[in-house]
Amino acid sequence: MDEETVAERVEGRMERQSILTERKPPVGLSFVLYEAVLRAPQVDAEQLRHLLEVGRLRNVVLQVLPFERAISDALLGSMVLLETRDYERFAFSEGPFASELFGRSGGCQPCHGAA
């Protein structure tokens, strides 16, 4: 991967992380991490400390899904659940073969394509 691509991805990641602390009013966020990602050899102490710091924020909830509780469908890709100010609920699921947006709004349809 070239340096420009790396720089763009890092910038995007930092921009996304700013939602944790810079939005007014703060956005309530909840994350479920599979235990395996915390124990992977690529994870270092600094990353784990960062997760602990983020978990201390009032608007963030971090949970760990233990090995013995894992549901295979939940491990096929990322899943985002959200609720709007008008209490509309949506789910976005992203996997290796398709991405899907679900909701009760008429505008939500499966988005099939490479993730």
Three-state SS at 58: coil
What was the pLDDT predicted at 112?
44
CA dihedral 54, 50, 92, 64 (to 10 degrees): -90
pLDDT in tens, 36-46: 889 999 999 99
- Distance in angstroms (rounded) separating the CA atoms of residues 88 and 107: 12
What was the pLDDT predicted at 91?
82
What was the pLDDT predicted at 46?
93
What was the pLDDT predicted at 111?
45
Buried/exposed code over 94-103 (b: 16+ C-beta within 10 A; e: otherwise): eeeeebbbee
pTM of the model: 0.58
pLDDT band per the 50, 70, 90 thresholds, residue 26: confident
Q: If you average pLDDT over every residue of the chain, what do you get?
A: 81
Backbone dihedral region for residue 113 (phi beyond 0: left; psi -120 to 50: alpha; all else: beta): left
Place of tokens 């499966």: 110
pLDDT in tens, 53-105: 999 999 999 999 888 876 666 567 777 777 888 888 888 877 777 778 877 65
Of 36, 19, 21, the residue nearest 80 (C-alpha)? 19
